Amino acid sequence: MPKKTTILIVILALVTSVLVYLAISTENRRPLPKEQPQVTKINKELKPVKTARLYFQPENLNTSGVYAPITSDVFIDAGKNKVSGVQLEMAFDPEAITKVDIASPTDNPFFSSPNSVILFKDIDYNNGRISYAVAISPTEDPKTAIGKVATITFTPNSSYSTTEAEISFLNKTIVTELGTVESILDQATPLKLDFSSSNPTPTPQACIQVITFAKNPTTEECTGFRTPCDVPEGWTNCQP
């Protein structure tokens, strides 16, 4: 074999060896595909159970011929919820009632602790709006059962031309529970005002101050009330 041919074969062999080495080195340096981590989806659409109810007591008032201030209490029935706060947003006709005020109840308060906080109170007499919010303190436990959230006082307008009016709850009214971001309010019943003279105003003697115990149809808890008129509709008498 000629000498030049031998040298060429040796050179080709060396080149081939180098190329094979480079190919193997490149393959070893290629990064392995990363394994995708498993993602656990969190269900953010869980809805809180809404059983809280707001209503007035009494819920119907005949105001014909009444010129003195009238009061009605705003009650809350927590149902199966544990309430941390209530924001009342209500509307009234400023031509139907005047001298409107809202305050903490003097008896049977739902937020009974002295540490409970009134967050705000605002009454727009021109546009007929009431804003009132109360909540537990950071050291309190959530509230259950039933009780008064606030007491509303107003004077009927004797010259009101319409036979009916109401104090209604607006959609911004909310009831809060710890651990939820949505309102747990299920139902809100307005206060009906009758300005006609066909139904006489019930006499105060019908609500003699006698402690009355009644059972919550939802929680079956027996609660005491100052008078029989304070017992919510649908509750039955019970023994403590």
Tell me the average confidence (pLDDT) per consecutive run of 10 residues in the chain, 240 residues long. 47 48 55 54 66 96 86 96 97 96 94 91 97 95 95 92 94 95 96 77 50 78 78 79
Give me Rg for the CA atoms of the chain. 36
- Structure confidence at residue 155 (pLDDT): 94
| SS3 (DSSP) at 204 | helix
CA distance 185 to 83: 10
Residue entry with tokens 């659409």 = 45
Count of domains for the chain:
1
Residue 36 placed within a domain: no
CA distance 98 to 125: 8
- Structure confidence at residue 12 (pLDDT): 44
- Structure confidence at residue 177 (pLDDT): 96
The model's pTM is 0.66
| SS3 (DSSP) at 70 | strand
Residue 152 placed within a domain: yes
Residue 189 placed within a domain: yes
Residue 20 placed within a domain: no
| SS3 (DSSP) at 83 | strand
Residue 15 placed within a domain: no
The gap between the terminal CA atoms of the chain, to the nearest Å, is 121
% helix, strand, coil for the chain, step of 5: 15, 35, 50
CB 188 within 8 A of CB 50: no
- Structure confidence at residue 10 (pLDDT): 46
66: domain CATH number? 2.60.40.680
Residue 179 placed within a domain: yes
- Structure confidence at residue 207 (pLDDT): 59
CB 110 within 8 A of CB 147: yes
Residue 224 placed within a domain: no
Residue range(s) defining the domain that contains residue 103: 52-199
Residue 188 placed within a domain: yes
